[in-house]
Amino acid sequence: MKRVARVAIIGMGSVGSSYAFALLNQGITEEIVLIDLNTAKAEGDAMDLNHGLPFAPSSTKIWFGEYSDCKDADLVVICAGANQKPGETRLDLVDKNTRIFKEIVDSVMGSGFDGIFLIATNPVDILSYAVWKFSGLPKERVIGSGTILDTARFRFLLGEYFDVDPRNVHAYIIGEHGDTELPVWSHADIAGMKIGEWAKKKNDFKPEELDTIFLNVRDAAYHIIERKGATYYGIAMGLVRLTKAVLGNENSVLTVSAFLQGEYGQEDLYIGVPAIVNRNGIKEIVELDLSPEERERFANSAGILKDILEKAMEPY
Ligand code: NAD
């Protein structure tokens, strides 16, 4: 029998369930397995999503499952764990979520899983490293969602500012998915034209407005959490984009948390960088020629992550 693509989602909270809903609506995979400590929630979600199948773009098998179902999964996507409470940073979640991840990854690997991990739980850069260590899988098969959402927010806000479709805006946020991330202004363009050229065309342009755009990207999660308690639709769509890139063997360039071995002058950590993603996971890291200031800010972001990583991984 022909093998079909299976995605297992661990953690059916706001992020996991939004991701499942977006996956189903975009018809990305043939099978979706839902797993959560809160079995009633995962079971209820499976029932609810199944009732939408008559309206779905393609046939999908969705069920409330267990870790043994990860054996035949192409992708295991982890959205489980604590999320940020108002006033908490992503890095405040380290110890709690590393402990949860040890259990989860051991259970997934115990099933005989031999696919690709995609991590969304925060702090995503630290937890992607933890999954790589705990699973023993090659580094290219552990992908963190990294700055995929921050990059999307950046493209949206720049598109809105210059009145151009965000899909035509090419600009990256790199570094920690969190407070030390940075915009790569030196390589930002819209339709092949540098942002500076667009600025010249805009009558009422003020340079400080670009700084405000970045601050709004960096602090977007805080702004949303203040208003509605959590963020989930944007990341869910980012996870679907990554899923499509993997299952469709796309070689797409996306900003993900990837393991560095000397790229950008850094090593032995997971951090957000543009990378080529395909059926084997992270095929290649795209090394941009950063400006000296960007390089320094990236090194600072990496340094902060490395300090936290060292403490987080100490007990393991
Ligand atoms: P949530 O509290 O709504 O859901 C978490 C789910 O994890 C719950 O259903 C809970 O039962 C489950 N869970 C907890 N421990 C588990 C275990 N050991 N095994 C299986 N399931 C377990 O949280 P959320 O809002 O969905 O956020 C989930 C994570 O995603 C958070 O860490 C949040 O910070 C992160 N997040 C990341 C991004 C990003 O850009 N990467 C964006 C938004 C949120």
The predicted-structure confidence for 84-121, as pLDDT tens digits, reads as follows 788 888 888 898 899 999 999 999 999 999 999 999 99
Which of these, 185, 151, 147, lies nearest to 293 by C-alpha position?
Answer: 185
Domain holding 223: CATH number?
Answer: 3.90.110.10
Residue 118 lies in a domain: yes
The active-site residue, picked from 51, 170, 177, 187, is 177
166: cis peptide before it, omega within 30°? Answer: no
Residue 1 lies in a domain: no
Q: Residue 14 and residue 30: Cα distance in Å, rounded?
A: 22
> Rounded to the nearest whole angstrom, what is the distance from the C-alpha of residue 232 to the centroid of ligand 1?
10
223 is catalytic: no
Which H, E and C letters describe 203-221, residue by residue?
CCCCHHHHHHHHHHHHCHH
Query: What is the number of structural domains in the chain?
Result: 2
Atom of ligand 1 nearest to the CA of 122: 32
Q: 232 is in which domain, residue-wise?
A: 148-313
> Rounded to the nearest whole angstrom, what is the distance from the C-alpha of residue 294 to the centroid of ligand 1?
31
- In this structure, the answer to whether residues 220 and 286 fall within a common structural domain is yes
Q: Read off the tokens for 72.
A: 């035949």
- In this structure, the answer to whether residues 131 and 227 fall within a common structural domain is no
Boundary of a domain, candidates 104, 128, 144: 144
pLDDT at 1: 57
Boundary of a domain, candidates 99, 126, 144: 144
The predicted-structure confidence for 153-212, as pLDDT tens digits, reads as follows 999 999 999 999 999 999 999 999 999 999 999 999 999 999 999 999 998 899 999 999
> Rounded to the nearest whole angstrom, what is the distance from the C-alpha of residue 290 to the centroid of ligand 1?
33
Alpha helix ranges (H) inside 61-206: 94-110, 124-135, 148-162, 195-201
Overall pTM > 0.95: yes
Contacts of 5 (CB under 8 A, 6+ apart): 29, 30, 31, 74, 75, 247
The average pLDDT across 25-47 equals 97
- In this structure, the answer to whether residues 41 and 57 fall within a common structural domain is yes
The predicted-structure confidence for 261-274, as pLDDT tens digits, reads as follows 999 999 999 999 99
Residue 87 lies in a domain: yes
Question: What is the residue-wise DSSP string for 138-171?
Answer: -GGGEEE-TTHHHHHHHHHHHHHHHTS-GGGEE-
Boundary of a domain, candidates 100, 122, 144: 144
Q: Distance between terminal CA atoms of the chain?
A: 41
